[in-house]
C-alpha cells in the first residue's frame, strides 16, 4: 500500500513524544505537524532529522482505511487505546 496523497492523518492524529524540527517538545495528538507542506507532504521525509516514530510508520489498510477521515478515526482510536489510563485507581498502599 502507498501513502494517500493529501492525507497526512499519520502526521496529525498521533502524538509524537520525540523532538521534531520546529516542535522541540514533540507534537500533541490531533495537531498537524509543522513539517507538513501545503500539499500535506512531510518536508523531512527521507532526511536524518525525521523522528524515528515517523519513519517507523508504514501505510496499511488497518491504519489508513479507505479515506483520510477513516485514517484519522483509526489513528485517533489507536492513540486513545495506547495512552496511560488516567482513570485507573491508585495502587495499593498509595497515599
Beta strands in 10-89 (DSSP E): none
Per-residue pLDDT reduced to its tens digit, 38-85: 999 999 999 999 999 999 999 999 999 999 999 999 999 999 998 877
Q: Determine the Cα–Cα distance for residues 34 and 27; give it in Å rounded to an integer.
A: 9
3 state DSSP class of 23 = strand
Chain length of the chain: 95
**Average pLDDT of span 83-92:** 61
Q: Determine the Cα–Cα distance for residues 35 and 3; give it in Å rounded to an integer.
A: 17
DSSP-H helix ranges across the chain: 52-56, 61-64, 68-81
> Is the predicted pLDDT of residue 13 greater than 90, yes or no?
yes
Predicted pLDDT of residue 45:
93
Amino acid at each position: 500500500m502507498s501513502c494517500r496523497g493529501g492525507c497526512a492523518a499519520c502526521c496529525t492524529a498521533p502524538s509524537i513524544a520525540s523532538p521534531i524540527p520546529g516542535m522541540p517538545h514533540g507534537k500533541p495528538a490531533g495537531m498537524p505537524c509543522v513539517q507538513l507542506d501545503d500539499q500535506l507532504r512531510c518536508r523531512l521525509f527521507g532526511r536524518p532529522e525525521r523522528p524515528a516514530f515517523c519513519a517507523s510508520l508504514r501505510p496499511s489498510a488497518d491504519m489508513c482505511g479507505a479515506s483520510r477521515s477513516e485514517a484519522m478515526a483509526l489513528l485517533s482510536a489507536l492513540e486513545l487505546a495506547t495512552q496511560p489510563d488516567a482513570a485507573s485507581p491508585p495502587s495499593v498502599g498509595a497515599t
